[in-house]
């Protein structure tokens, strides 16, 4: 008799109707033996049904502004340094919470940039309301923050009374930052490791949980690796969980001044990952690289005017270029770089030249893929930053340039372009500049040094007819026609 064979038949159907986790539902059945030597063992029908699955890892973070931190001096923080902060008000806080917290999460992080237990920030009646709402929604964990000086038996009693039967696990986020007291003093933290230990001990006795926050790469630290490792070891003794975050100056934080002076700078992703590598395997530790990274902000927005060395190598420009090179991530859709000149009118897109160029560019099917990059004395300016300080608040009068300044402009600008192109890759590079532009010369030199092809979109022969035009020759129709023709030919 012929040896029986085995046949397995599988069928798949997919049901995608709602944006919630998929569950797997399987029906098994077997077909009876037939007179044929083939045995049908089973047919597995798998249907991906949209059914609720366990949401153990769902988390919601709410950051609110309410009153001012009682300390408000940490050099890396600016949340409580804003001139106008809303006064603590139960109804406003309740409205904000109800609008955000509309369904069940496993964990709610409620952060108020200071101390949740400080009644000058979070009123007592709202503290109770938040806990009750978490219980009503069957939220398992609540994470709130506080400085050690507000962690007292009296303040904790309010939370314990509201959290009846301990249905809610309440974690206190303690911003220890480092276990080095000398660094704590220099960053103006306002407490010591002893204060932290006392607060942690009281929280444990009262049945609360501790989540300690540490900052990697703090300023004034001689060895950031050993400092972080020591801090983790210290925090492990007192914490249920630990969070390591990348030190970055938020908003208008004084730490920006150290970055400006080039005595300290934040770590980029590669540097940070190397620093925290040994701690990633610890399930007790969460690691956050870019939770608070954003573009540079400055309180003082004095216009920067003049064709001088100081205005070329201004620390503000250097800081911005460092951010653009090491932290900024260009939009994925931007496949092609289109380098453009600056304009007297700011933001650039308000100028006649840029308005006309953009109007014509929009006729291209690849318009969305073009990344507009302006070149000027501040360096490389992606279009999305043209309204930010100082890019909308500077002027470089070319007629003030001396031979020495022109030479320095070429060198500094070429260096900045090279650094940008090393960090950001494009399928093709295009340029639309006057042939004698110093920015264009710097761009050509930078591309040549890196063996990157650069396609000029300017028709030089046509340009000769308009080069003496007192107005911008780049807006002449024939030159714009050549720009569009070149781009259309070389883009998908």
* Radius of gyration of the chain measured on its C-alpha atoms: 30
pLDDT of residue 85: 85
The token pair that represents 52 in the structure block: 């609720």
Residue 294 lies in a domain: no
Judgement on whether residues 271 and 332 belong to the same structural domain of the protein: no
The pLDDT of residue 438 is 96
Asked whether residue 67 is domain-assigned, the answer is yes
**Distance between CA atoms of 357 and 480, rounded to whole angstroms?**
7
What's the CA gap between 148 and 190, in Å, rounded? 10
Assess contact for 242 and 285: CB atoms under 8 A.
yes
Distance CA 73, CA 85 (A): 16
Return d(Cα 364, Cα 368) in angstroms, integer. Answer: 9
Tokens linked to 97: 């919470």
DSSP class of residue 101? -
Q: Are residues 373 and 336 in the same domain?
A: yes
Q: Are residues 256 and 320 in the same domain?
A: no
Q: 255 and 356: one domain? A: no
Environment class of 397 (CB within 10 Å of its CB; exposed 0-12, middle 13-18, buried 19+): exposed
| Residue 211 Cα distances to 63, 109, 166, 207, 285, angstroms | 17, 11, 18, 14, 9
Is 237 domain-assigned?
yes
Q: Is residue 126 part of a domain?
A: yes
Same domain (yes/no): 31, 123:
no
Pairing between β-strand 169-177 and β-strand 379-382 as defined by DSSP bridges = unpaired
**Is 203 among the domain residues?**
yes
Q: Give CA–CA dist 123/125, Å, rounded.
A: 6
**Contact 492/481 with Cβ under 8 angstroms?**
no
Per-10-residue mean pLDDT of the chain, 492 residues long, equals 41 33 34 41 34 61 93 88 86 97 96 95 97 96 98 96 92 98 98 98 97 98 98 98 94 88 96 98 96 86 96 96 97 97 96 97 97 98 97 96 97 98 98 96 98 97 82 90 97 88
Query: What confidence score (pLDDT) does residue 39 get?
Result: 37
Q: How far apart are CA 147 and CA 198, in angstroms?
A: 12
pLDDT at position 470: 64
Helix pair angle (352-361, 477-490), 10° resolution: 40
- Residue bearing tokens 């249920």: 240
Distance CA 474, CA 462 (A): 11
DSSP string, 34-96: -SSSEEEEEEEEEEEE------TT-EEEEE---S--SS---TT--TT--S--PPP-HHHHHHH
CA distance 179 to 210: 16
Residue with tokens 């004698």: 436
DSSP string for 208-229: -EEEEEEEET-TT-S-HHHHHH
Q: Are residues 232 and 141 in the same domain?
A: yes
Cβ contacts of 219 within 8 Å, gap of 6 or more = 75, 186, 187, 247, 255, 258, 263, 264
Task: Report the CATH number at residue 142.
Answer: 3.20.20.70
Examine the domain organization and report whether 148 and 268 are in the same domain. yes
CA–CA dist 308, 408 (Å, integer): 10
Is the separation of the CB atoms in 380 and 417 below 8 Å? yes
- Does residue 65 share a domain with residue 41? no
Q: Is the same domain home to 174 and 280?
A: yes
Question: What pLDDT score was predicted for residue 47?
Answer: 32
* Residue 295 domain flag: no
- Considering only CA atoms, which of 162, 164, 160, 80 is closest in space to residue 115? 80
In 5-66, alpha helices (H): none
Q: Are residues 284 and 324 in the same domain?
A: no
pTM equals 0.83
Q: Does 273 reside within a domain?
A: yes
399 lies in which domain range?
Answer: 304-490
Total domains in the fold of the chain? 3
Q: How far apart are CA 153 and CA 31, in angstroms?
A: 69
* In contact, 217 and 272? CB cutoff 8 Å: yes
Residues 347 and 403 both lie in one domain:
yes
Q: At what angle do helices 315-326 and 403-423 cross, to 10 degrees?
A: 20
What 3-state DSSP class applies to 255? helix
For residue 374, the cross-strand partners are 340, 381
Q: What is the CATH number of the domain that holds 359?
A: 3.40.50.10630
Please check whether residue 242 lies inside any domain of the structure: yes
């Amino acid at each position: 008799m012929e040896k029986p064979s085995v046949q397995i038949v599988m069928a798949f159907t997919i049901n995608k109707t709602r944006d919630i986790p998929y569950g797997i539902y399987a029906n098994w059945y077997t077909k009876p033996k037939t007179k044929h030597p083939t045995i049908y063992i089973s047919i597995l029908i798998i249907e991906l049904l949209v059914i609720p699955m366990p949401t153990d890892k769902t988390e919601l973070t709410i950051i609110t502004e309410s009153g001012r931190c009682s300390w408000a001096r940490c050099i890396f923080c600016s949340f409580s340094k804003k001139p106008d902060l809303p006064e603590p008000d139960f109804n406003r806080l309740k409205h904000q919470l109800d609008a955000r917290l509309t369904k069940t999460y496993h964990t709610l992080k409620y952060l108020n940039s200071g101390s949740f237990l400080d009644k000058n920030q979070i009123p007592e009646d709202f503290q109770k309301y938040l806990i009750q709402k978490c219980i009503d929604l069957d939220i398992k964990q609540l994470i709130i923050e506080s400085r050690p000086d507000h962690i007292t038996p009296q303040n904790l009693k309010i939370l314990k009374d509201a959290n009846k039967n301990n249905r809610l696990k309440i974690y206190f986020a303690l911003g220890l930052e480092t276990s080095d007291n000398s660094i704590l003093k220099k960053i103006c933290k306002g407490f010591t490791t002893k204060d932290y230990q006392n607060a942690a001990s009281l929280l444990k006795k009262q049945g609360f949980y501790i989540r300690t926050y540490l900052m990697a790469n703090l300023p004034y630290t001689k060895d950031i690796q050993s400092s972080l490792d020591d801090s983790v070891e210290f925090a492990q003794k007192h914490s249920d969980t630990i969070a390591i975050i990348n030190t970055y100056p938020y908003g208008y934080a004084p730490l920006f001044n150290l970055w400006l002076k080039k005595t300290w700078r934040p770590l980029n992703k590669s540097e940070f990952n190397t620093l925290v590598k040994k701690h990633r395997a610890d399930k007790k530790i969460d690691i956050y690289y870019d939770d608070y990274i954003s573009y540079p902000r400055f309180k003082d927005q004095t216009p920067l005017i003049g064709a001088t060395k100081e205005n070329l190598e201004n620390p503000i420009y250097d800081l911005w270029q460092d951010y653009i090179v090491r932290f900024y991530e260009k939009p994925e859709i931007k496949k092609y770089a289109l380098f453009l000149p600056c304009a007297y009118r700011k933001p650039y897109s308000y100028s006649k030249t840029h308005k006309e160029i953009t109007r014509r560019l929009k006729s291209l099917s690849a318009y969305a893929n073009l990344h507009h990059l302006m070149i000027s004395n501040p360096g490389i300016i992606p279009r999305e930053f043209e309204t930010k300080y100082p890019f909308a608040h500077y002027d470089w009068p070319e007629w003030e340039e001396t031979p020495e300044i022109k030479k320095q402009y070429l060198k500094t600008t070429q260096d900045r372009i090279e650094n940008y192109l090393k960090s950001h890759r494009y399928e093709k590079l295009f340029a639309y500049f006057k042939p004698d532009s110093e920015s264009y010369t710097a761009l050509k030199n930078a591309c040549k040094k890196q063996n990157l092809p650069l396609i000029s979109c300017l028709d030089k022969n046509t340009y000769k007819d308009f080069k003496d035009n007192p107005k911008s020759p780049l807006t002449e129709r024939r030159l714009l026609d050549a720009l569009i023709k070149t781009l259309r030919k070389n883009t998908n």
